Amino acid sequence: MGDNLPFASIEALSGKLERGDISSAHLTNLYLERIDRLNPALNAYVEVYHEAALMQARASDQRRAHGYQIGPLDGIPLAVKDLCAIDGRGIAAGSKSWHGRRSESTATAIARLIAAGAVILGKTQMVEFAFGGWGTNPLLGTPRNPWSVSSHCIPGGSSSGSGVAVAAGLAAGAIGSDTGGSVRIPATLNGITGLKTTAGLISLAGCCDLSKSLDSLGPMTRSVWDAALLTQIMAGYDKLDPRTHHAPRVMFDLDDDEDPDDVLTGAVIGLIPPSSYPIEVSPEIAGALDEMVSVLMEHGATVIEQEFPFDFHEMMLLNGKIISAEAYALHRSYIHDESLEIGPWVRRRIMSGRDISAAEYIDAMAAHNNAKRAWAAWMRGMDALLVPGTPIVACPLEQVDESETPLAAFTRAGNFLGTSVLAVPAGFDGASMPIGMQLYGKPFEEPLLVRIGRAYQRVSDWHRRVPAMV
Q: How far apart are CA 343 and CA 139, in angstroms?
A: 7
What residue spans of 332-411 are helical by DSSP H?
A: 344-351, 358-378
Catalytic, out of 14, 158, 160, 324: 158
Note if 96 is an active site residue. no
434 burial level (CB within 10 Å; 0-12, 13-18, 19+): buried
Active-site residue, from 23, 81, 95, 223: 81
Distance CA 74, CA 59 (A): 10
Q: Is 321 a catalytic residue?
A: no
- Cα gap 322→367, rounded to integer Å: 11
CA 256 from centre of chain: 23
CB environment 151-160: b (16+ within 10 A), e (fewer): eebbbbbbbb
Catalytic residue selected from 182, 213, 324, 420: 182
**Does the active-site annotation cover 282?**
no
CB 349 within 8 A of CB 447: no
CA-closest candidate to residue 154, choices 397, 392, 393: 397
Virtual CA dihedral for 40, 154, 325, 46, nearest 10 degrees?
-10
| DSSP code of residue 6 | G
The answer to whether 194 and 184 have CB atoms below 8 angstroms apart is yes
Active site residues: 81, 158, 182
